[in-house]
């Protein structure tokens, strides 16, 4: 069993730390890039996605001018143990709408209704929700009330309604993360460790991987029309 808590203000550091660990542990699962750990660029995306979520968690204090909310699932027997989270962004000028940005459930706690419970908590407050997910996850989200709306790059765009909201949603600017000193330092370390040729190959593998994911979505969509 598990308990759910909704945060609209900063949550305790112990919760933040466990959320970020879930992000790092489940990068392939929650990122639109979905790189496998075997790719040499994996550590760069681990840092970048983790830092992006960190910025959203910081934004819970309202200082960044971005509306952010969070639902956290904890172990009913151990309330300090985080087993899942959903980070979502309420839409300005549309009090019923939000966009689900990140979601993860601890591997050992899956298929126990945790994801459904967290999403249900979000929809109880914001019934008009949108998200993007891998093709393989579409049936699970359909079972939660979402419907296929189209494509968003490498993912399938889904919504609880058959139209998108007209409101605006504040998001973190991610480009500065990938050009940050920290990312450059990670890249330099990987370059020194593996060599230029291996890193170029990793970039080519990433690009081919993204093309394959995008094609998979385009093949999938016509059958859902």
Count of the separate structural domains present in the chain: 1
Lookup: tokens for 92: 């300005």
- What's the whole-number mean pLDDT along residues 123-151? 96
Instruction: List the CATH number of the domain containing 66.
Output: 3.40.630.30
Lookup: tokens for 167: 């409101």
C-alpha triplet 93, 12, 73: angle, nearest 5°: 70
Specify the pLDDT at position 110. 87
pLDDT, tens digit (0-9, with 9 covering 90-100), for 59-72: 999 888 899 999 99
Domain that holds residue 44: 2-224
Comparing C-alpha atoms, which of 100, 94, 78 is closest to residue 168?
94
pLDDT, tens digit (0-9, with 9 covering 90-100), for 49-59: 999 999 999 99
Please give the model's pTM, rounded to 2 decimal places. 0.94
């Amino acid at each position: 069993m598990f308990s759910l808590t909704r945060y609209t203000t900063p949550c305790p550091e112990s919760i933040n730390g466990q959320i970020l660990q879930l992000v790092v542990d489940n990068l392939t699962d929650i990122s639109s890039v979905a790189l496998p750990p075997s790719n040499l660029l994996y550590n760069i995306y681990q840092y970048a996605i983790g830092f992006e979520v960190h910025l959203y968690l910081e934004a819970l204090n309202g200082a960044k001018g971005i509306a952010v909310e969070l639902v956290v699932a904890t172990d009913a027997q151990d309330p300090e143990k985080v087993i899942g989270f959903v980070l979502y962004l309420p839409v300005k000028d549309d009090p019923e709408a939000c966009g689900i940005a990140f979601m993860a459930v601890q591997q050992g706690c899956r298929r126990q209704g945790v994801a459904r419970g967290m999403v249900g908590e979000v929809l109880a407050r914001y019934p008009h929700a949108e998200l993007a997910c891998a093709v393989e996850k579409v049936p699970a989200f359909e079972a939660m009330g979402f419907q296929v709306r189209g494509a968003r790059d490498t993912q399938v765009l889904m919504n609880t309604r058959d139209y998108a909201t007209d409101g605006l949603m504040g998001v973190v600017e991610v480009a500065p993360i990938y050009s940050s000193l920290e990312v450059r330092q990670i890249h330099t370390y990987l370059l020194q460790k593996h060599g230029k040729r291996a890193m170029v190959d990793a970039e080519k593998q990433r690009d081919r991987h993204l093309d394959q994911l995008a094609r998979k979505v385009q093949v999938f969509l016509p059958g859902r029309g």
